[in-house]
Structure formats: structure tokens, C-alpha cells
């Protein structure tokens, strides 16, 4: 059953390592079939995927591989492989590359890491697959580019040495992941920088108030290509070509962290954080954010999880699955708070009105979301162990499969049609 009600709740429990791991290789606004899942939130940066089927599928486990330990960086899949960050929590970080259909280990890169950090020193940022390469980022700012087929190093950079990052990293590490758009690799070691992804050469650098934890987002607004994100004091937009700051607005960073990624809703911008709840903004004709929000909602105040557009509504989690109407000032349409998968941190992947909601205990709940109701289409346990196990890593959907990791394993699940279901 579901309850339909308006609620106002505080954010979920804090563990800011996170999952603000996202990037993509030069995509358009809509994911094409076969686009894979090259980085956080998929090929169009927004949690949309044509891999979400029309009906609840059957799941067949293709393979399962043991990993070194907990690591919350998301899984990526593309060009026939799956790449996953990993850490033993004591001596080394690992970046594994598996063949997507068989699970065969193709290579593993080992990066020395015996440093300590709150909530562990494992990588936070999802690897980024791009034109035969994969770019990875460690929690202390160790940036590496590897050949995707062989695992051989192509280039490497250190945030402190090469980009002037402060000697001490952010309390929960560098989490803003590599973002590749329009042939530029965008990073936030302190200042916002753009590199040539082929060589690691610096293309431009622009000053900010320092790093935050949220991912940055590419957008086209009023015909202007820009990248949108949080620094330590503001939310802003920067010109992609030269790095010039286009606009700036204050952001409440009083808790010391902002994790959820900004979300575009058409040519509007949804900002949803624990400190400021959800707010929907418009842009002016010059592509600058308008100062007054078009709508607000105190029902949705996510600490970590990023909301997703599902059909004509916006879904996010704050002690339940919250449905907002972006066409009506973010009015709360309904709340579904009876599914365990909706109670904690959750990732939402959508295809039209259908969505897969991946809870933090390894359960996936498939739904159809409209303004009127949340229809549960099915549930499947895809990972997670005992009661203490958490699954915060974003899964990857590619080629009819779901790739998901928990604290011990990475799993490959094939999605199959159910008999008698079209």
C-alpha cells in the first residue's frame, strides 16, 4: 500500500562520502539506445535510461566477483566493459575492469593509499569512461587516466601538486567526479579547471570559493553551454568554452557539505539540499539564474540522494519517496513511505513514467509514477548482505543488464522478460 500525504521531514543520516560521483563523455540531452552507463547518473547526466524496461523483468545473475572492501563510488559500464573503484581500506585503492558479459578480469590498477579519512579513504568518485580510456579520482586527489583495454597508464595528475589544491583535502575527500563534456575534462580540486582528456593538459582554470561534495552538471540554457555546480559558498554557472563565471547565487553550506547534484527540469534548475530543501529556478534570456524561485518544497530535503525527473514529475527521497509537481510550484503530489527501499538513501533511474528505485540495502523496486499515484510493479534483491550492509554505490544499466556492487561483491544481472508480459 501507499500513503498519499504531505510531509515535512529532516534529511537522512549523514555519511558524506559520496555518491556525488558523476560524469559523462560528450552526450546529448537524451540517452540513446546502447549508450551504456559511462559515469554517474548515466549517459545524459540525469538518471534517464532506455534500459529501464516496460515491465518488471526477471533477473538472471550472470556473474559475481569478490571485491576488496567497501567503496561507494558508482559503477560504470561502456565499450563492453565494467569499471569499478575499490579499496582494502588499509594499503591500496583498486580500479577493476571486467568484461561485461562474462565477468572476466581484464586488468586491475593498484594505487597506494594508506592514509586515513573520516568514513574511510576509499574513492568517492565514479570512474569516467571516454573514447577507449577511463579516468579515475581518489579521495585524496589522485587523478589517473588508464587505457580501457589494457589498463596501462596514459597520464596522471595530483590535485595538490598540479592544481594548487590545499594540503589537507576536504573532510570527506574529493567527491566531485570527473565530468567530460564538449571534449573537456572538468574537475573541482579547488578552482574549477578544464583539461584535455587525451593528455591531461590544462585548458583553462577559474577561481572558486573552494570544493564542495556535489557533482557538477552540464546544461544548455538560452542557447548557452554552461556547467552548473556548487563551490564552498555558492551555486553557479560557468561558460564551458573559457571557464568564465556566468552567474552566482548564495548556497547554504552551514553544515559543511552539499551532496545532491543539481538537476535540470527542461530549462529550469532544481536545487534540493538538506539545508535549503527543494527549490525550482528559471533562467533569464542571457542564461543567468533568476534570483527568486518559481517553486519550493520543504517535503524534499535530501542529505545525499539526487532527485530524478520521472515523466512529468520529480521524485526524490526524504524518509520516503516524495513526488513533486514542477509545473505547480513543486507542490507535493504524494508520498510513498511504506517501502523499505524508500526509507534511506536511494538512486532513481527513469524511462518515461517508469523508474527503478535502488535502495541502500540492495533492493530494487520498480514503479510507475504519475501525478496521481505510485504503482509498484515489482521488487528484486540485487545485492546487500546482512542488516548492517549498505549499498550506496550507484548501479550501472547497460545492454540489458544491471551492474551493482555492495560492500563485498559486484554483481551482473541480466534483465529478462517475464512470460506473458509484453
Q: Which of 274, 403, 343, 374 is nearest to 415 (CA)?
A: 403
The structural domains of the chain, ordered by start, are 58-416 (2.130.10.10)
* Confidence at residue 30, expressed as pLDDT on a 0 to 100 scale: 52
Q: Across residues 128-139, what is the average pLDDT?
A: 97
Could you give the CA distance from residue 166 to residue 176 in angstroms, rounded to a whole number? 15
pLDDT(16) > 60: no
Could you give the CA distance from residue 396 to residue 21 in angstroms, rounded to a whole number? 12
Residue 320, φ and ψ in degrees, nearest 5: 140, 165
Run of H or E residues at 111: strand 105-112
* Confidence at residue 285, expressed as pLDDT on a 0 to 100 scale: 96
- pTM of the full predicted structure? 0.92
User: Whose grid coordinates read 579519512?
Assistant: 117
180-204 per-position pLDDT tens digit:
999 999 999 999 999 999 999 999 9
Half-sphere exposure of 116 (CA within 13 A, CB side): 0
104: left (phi over 0), alpha (psi -120 to 50) or beta: beta
318-340 per-position pLDDT tens digit:
999 999 999 999 999 999 999 99
Could you give the CA distance from residue 207 to residue 192 in angstroms, rounded to a whole number? 6
- Helix/strand number for the chain, H first, E second: 1, 32
CB 121 within 8 A of CB 89: yes
Could you give the CA distance from residue 86 to residue 124 in angstroms, rounded to a whole number? 10
- The sign one gets for the Cα dihedral 94, 210, 280, 340 is positive
Amino acid at each position: 500500500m501507499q500513503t498519499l500525504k504531505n510531509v515535512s521531514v529532516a534529511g537522512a543520516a549523514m555519511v558524506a562520502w559520496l555518491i556525488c560521483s558523476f560524469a559523462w563523455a560528450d552526450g546529448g540531452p537524451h540517452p540513446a539506445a546502447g549508450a551504456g552507463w559511462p559515469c554517474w547518473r548515466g549517459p545524459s547526466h540525469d538518471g534517464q535510461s532506455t534500459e529501464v524496461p516496460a515491465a518488471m523483468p526477471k533477473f538472471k545473475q550472470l556473474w559475481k566477483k569478490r571485491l576488496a572492501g567497501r567503496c561507494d563510488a558508482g559503477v560504470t559500464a561502456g565499450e563492453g566493459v565494467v569499471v569499478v573503484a575499490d579499496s582494502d581500506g588499509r594499503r591500496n585503492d583498486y580500479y577493476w575492469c571486467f568484461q561485461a558479459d562474462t565477468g572476466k578480469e581484464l586488468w586491475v590498477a593498484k594505487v597506494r593509499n594508506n592514509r586515513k579519512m573520516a568514513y574511510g579513504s576509499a574513492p568517492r568518485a565514479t570512474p569516467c569512461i571516454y573514447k577507449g580510456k577511463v579516468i579515475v579520482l581518489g579521495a585524496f586527489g589522485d587523478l589517473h587516466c588508464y587505457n580501457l583495454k589494457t589498463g596501462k597508464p596514459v597520464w596522471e595528475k595530483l590535485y595538490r601538486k598540479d592544481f594548487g589544491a590545499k594540503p589537507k583535502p576536504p573532510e570527506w575527500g574529493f567527491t566531485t567526479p570527473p565530468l567530460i563534456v564538449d571534449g573537456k575534462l572538468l574537475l573541482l580540486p579547488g578552482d574549477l579547471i578544464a583539461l584535455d582528456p587525451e593528455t591531461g593538459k590544462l585548458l583553462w582554470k577559474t577561481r572558486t570559493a573552494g570544493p564542495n561534495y556535489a557533482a557538477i552538471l552540464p546544461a544548455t540554457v538560452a542557447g548557452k553551454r554552461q556547467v552548473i555546480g556548487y563551490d564552498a559558498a555558492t551555486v553557479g554557472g560557468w561558460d564551458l568554452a573559457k571557464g568564465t563565471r556566468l552567474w552566482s547565487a548564495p548556497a547554504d553550506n552551514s553544515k559543511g557539505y552539499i551532496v545532491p547534484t543539481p538537476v535540470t527540469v527542461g530549462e529550469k534548475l532544481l536545487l534540493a539540499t538538506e539545508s535549503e530543501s527543494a527549490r525550482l529556478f528559471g533562467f533569464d534570456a542571457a542564461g543567468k539564474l533568476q534570483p527568486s524561485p518559481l517553486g519550493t518544497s520543504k517535503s524534499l530535503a535530501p542529505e545525499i540522494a539526487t532527485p530524478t525527473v520521472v515523466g512529468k514529475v520529480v521524485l526524490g527521497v526524504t524518509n520516503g519517496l516524495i513526488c513533486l509537481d514542477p509545473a505547480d510550484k513543486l507542490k507535493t503530489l504524494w508520498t510513498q513511505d511504506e517501502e523499505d527501499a524508500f526509507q534511506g538513501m536511494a538512486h532513481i533511474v527513469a524511462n518515461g513514467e517508469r523508474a527503478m528505485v535502488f535502495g541502500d540495502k540492495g533492493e530494487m523496486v520498480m514503479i510507475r509514477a504519475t501525478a496521481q499515484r505510485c504503482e509498484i510493479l515489482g521488487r528484486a534483491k540485487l545485492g546487500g548482505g546482512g542488516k548492517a550492509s549498505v549499498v550506496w554505490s550507484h548501479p550501472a544499466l547497460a545492454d540489458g543488464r544491471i551492474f551493482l556492487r555492495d560492500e563485498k561483491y559486484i554483481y551482473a544481472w541480466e534483465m529478462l522478460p517475464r512470460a506473458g508480459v509484453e
